[in-house]
Amino acid sequence: MNLADSKKKLALAGLGCGLVAACLAFFGNPANMAFCIACFVRDMAGSLGMHQAEAVQYARPEIVGLVCGSFLIAVVTKEYRSVAGSSPLIRFVLGMIIMIGSLVFLGCPLRMVIRMSAGDLNAWVALIGFILGVATGAFALKQGFSLGRSHETNAASGAVLPAILAGILILAVCTALLKASEAGPGSMHAPILLSLAGGLIFGALAQKSRMCFAGSIRDVILMKNFDLLTVILGLFAVMLVYNVALGKFTLGFDTPGVIAHSEFLWNILGMYAVGFAAVLAGGCPLRQLILAGQGSSDAAITVLGLFFGAALCHNLGLAASGTALNPETKELVAGAVPVNGKVACVICILVCFVIAFTNKRKVRK
């Protein structure tokens, strides 16, 4: 089975993933988050007590499903390869940067597309930053950027992250050890089995279609290849229909209920950091989870970087706040990026430049 060899199959995979996201939103996930990788990894970090933001703590079965879905389909279709050794700590830092940039904007590239499909113009503004970030990464690649080769390792090594995540889910279901929000976005979720099934299906489809938000734009810039973009357009189309059909489409900035802010510069710079770091790491947050599932310990390290970045964001007050209605006064309180978050975002972009231009591909003689 190969979903990546024709545009039609790629579009179908995108439609399938869109249906999963729409379904999960319908059954209880925060509407315009649906399946945000950054938000859900942040919630998982919260459930483990890595940060203390009470509104965003929940062991999201979707994340477990994504990685395990990719793992299972890779094993079945003989694409599982346990590899490691391509600049792991640089990848860890890139994972941190992706998370910090995402939480300055308030969403990963997947959520950016979901927000775009709901008419949130702030997400369209952020898309400019994302494209510029990807383009900067693509420029570095043209200059010979590389994090070096990975090598095969013991087969068990690649199964560690899927096993850890499955363990977290078991702890969440069978014990009261993990934290779970009682209010806020962390308390909003589809039934566990549905979330897990959605994650498994999404993970398998993403593994087979090579879905990647950073890769889609990178391939257009570098290769004039629109294949991966087809998957994203499929997902966008389904979410657009879902939002319009259910009256959830509101064109505008500052829409209450959409967890977002209207600080244009920081929406752009946040996603610039995400796009840049994702190209350097070889894929967006979703793609990192999928690669980790199919056996890459390097991608697994990037995922750990996402967890670490999420903890930093909430422990050090880097994450932005969303525009919301004050329930008592009925006034609109504008969301904002805190000063700490702005400083962190600028540092992240600088670090991306350092990584991009100090790591060159070595030619084998």
* Residue 248 burial (C-beta neighbours within 10 Å; 0-12, 13-18, 19+): middle
In the DSSP assignment, the letter for residue 253 is S
Residues of span 192-221 touching another protein by CB under 8 A? 210, 215, 218-219
CB of 9 to another protein, least distance (A): 12
Contact segment (CB under 8 A) with another protein among 73-81, 107-115, 120-128, 196-204 equals 73-81
CB of 146 to another protein, least distance (A): 6
Binding status of residue 117 toward another protein by CB under 8 A: no
Residue closer to another protein by CB (options 21, 228) is 228
CB of 208 to another protein, least distance (A): 9
Binding status of residue 364 toward another protein by CB under 8 A: yes
* Residue 26 burial (C-beta neighbours within 10 Å; 0-12, 13-18, 19+): middle
Residues of span 10-69 touching another protein by CB under 8 A? none
Residue closer to another protein by CB (options 43, 219) is 219
In whole angstroms, give the CA distance from residue 109 to residue 25.
Answer: 17
Residue closer to another protein by CB (options 8, 142) is 142
Residue closer to another protein by CB (options 88, 119) is 88
In whole angstroms, give the CA distance from residue 19 to residue 245.
Answer: 13
Q: Roughly how many angstroms between the first and final C-alpha of the chain, as a whole number?
A: 36
Kindly tell me which residue out of 1, 5, 176, 330 binds another protein, with binding defined by CB under 8 A.
5
Kindly tell me which residue out of 27, 52, 152, 326 binds another protein, with binding defined by CB under 8 A.
152
Residue closer to another protein by CB (options 223, 244) is 223
In whole angstroms, give the CA distance from residue 204 to residue 199.
Answer: 8
In whole angstroms, give the CA distance from residue 204 to residue 224.
Answer: 26
Binding status of residue 342 toward another protein by CB under 8 A: no
Contact segment (CB under 8 A) with another protein among 121-129, 270-278, 279-287, 342-350 equals 279-287
Binding status of residue 7 toward another protein by CB under 8 A: no
Backbone angles phi, psi at 332, to 5 degrees: -85, 120
Binding status of residue 143 toward another protein by CB under 8 A: no
User: Taking the CB of residue 281, how many other CB atoms lie within 10 A of it?
Assistant: 30
In whole angstroms, give the CA distance from residue 254 to residue 80.
Answer: 44
From residue 215, give the alpha-carbon distance in Å to each of 106, 241, 258, 283, 310. 21, 25, 26, 6, 23
* Footprint of another protein (CB under 8 A): 2, 4-5, 78-79, 81, 83, 85-86, 141-142, 146-152, 210, 215, 218-219, 222-223, 227, 281-283, 298, 361, 364
